[in-house]
Amino acid sequence: MLSVGLTGGIGAGKSEVSRLLQSYGAVLIDSDTIAREVVEPGTRGLAAVVEAFGPEILTAEGTLDRPRLGSIVFGDATKLAVLNGIVHPLVRARSQELARSAGPGAVVVHDVPLLTENGLAPLYELVIVVDASPETQLDRLVHRRGMTESEARARMAAQATREQRRAIADVVIDNDGPLEALEPRVRDVWAELERRAASPRPAA
């Protein structure tokens, strides 16, 4: 099994790359999806979040009120650290469980938006960074996602810099161009991932 970390700045096109890799045969483990699953109603994750932040972070239906929780933690580094201390270990455990269920020759791609920011590169045998210029990111966020320019710039500024992401990359997928230019590049990367997954490697 080959363990791959996939990341990229907002608007760089990471979601499209992960979709393509999955279509080729990768086992995709999406950290954002898992992070939502581990705090669904009835989970110990949600119980721990309620214990830490109080029942006011629940909706009337008993689900996590994400905007309410966000307003509590994202301006307070201490509270954010408490939340991350609850959610991150659960996400990591579930990700490992899903990875173990993959076959021995599988390519397991972990889609991790904050891989760079959280210093997670050493967890993976290979790190792929989907890269686009800040100008391209801004254009996509404004014209495709409907953000204002100030909103888009703020979201970009809250993430690692382009240079920081590229510094931890084993493979960089350039996605400044149109979608049709991306697919052949991702297919080439997939061929390399399959080759590595099939090659004998030292035990971790």
Same domain, 50 and 98: yes
Q: What is the DSSP letter of 201?
A: -
Same domain, 152 and 203: yes
Q: Which residue has the higher pLDDT, 179 or 109?
A: 109
Provide the pLDDT for residue 135.
Answer: 96
- Per the CB < 8 A criterion, the answer to whether 17 and 113 are in contact is no
- Domain span holding position 35: 31-103
CA 145 to chain centre: 18
pLDDT per residue over 24-46, tens digit each? 999 999 988 999 999 999 999 99
Same domain, 159 and 196: yes
Provide the pLDDT for residue 85.
Answer: 94
Domain end point (choices 81, 103, 125) = 103
Same domain, 92 and 112: no
Average pLDDT over all residues of the chain: 93
Same domain, 81 and 118: no
Provide the pLDDT for residue 34.
Answer: 95
pLDDT band for 194, please (50, 70, 90 cuts).
very high
pLDDT band for 179, please (50, 70, 90 cuts).
confident
Domain end point (choices 53, 78, 103) = 103
Q: How many distinct structural domains can be found in the chain?
A: 2
CATH number for the domain spanning 187: value is 3.40.50.300
pLDDT band for 202, please (50, 70, 90 cuts).
low
118/84 Cα distance (integer angstroms): 11
Same domain, 110 and 97: no
> What is the percent of the chain where pLDDT is above 90?
77
> What is the percent of the chain where pLDDT is above 70?
98
Same domain, 185 and 163: yes
- Dihedral sign of CA atoms 68, 85, 47, 36 in order: positive
Same domain, 52 and 92: yes
pLDDT (average), residues 108-133: 94
Provide the pLDDT for residue 76.
Answer: 85
Would the pLDDT of 60 be above 80? yes
Domain end point (choices 55, 83, 103) = 103
59/56 Cα distance (integer angstroms): 8
Same domain, 112 and 17: yes
Same domain, 21 and 37: no
CA 25 to chain centre: 19
Closest CA to 164 of 136, 127, 193, 139: 127
pLDDT (average), residues 58-62: 95
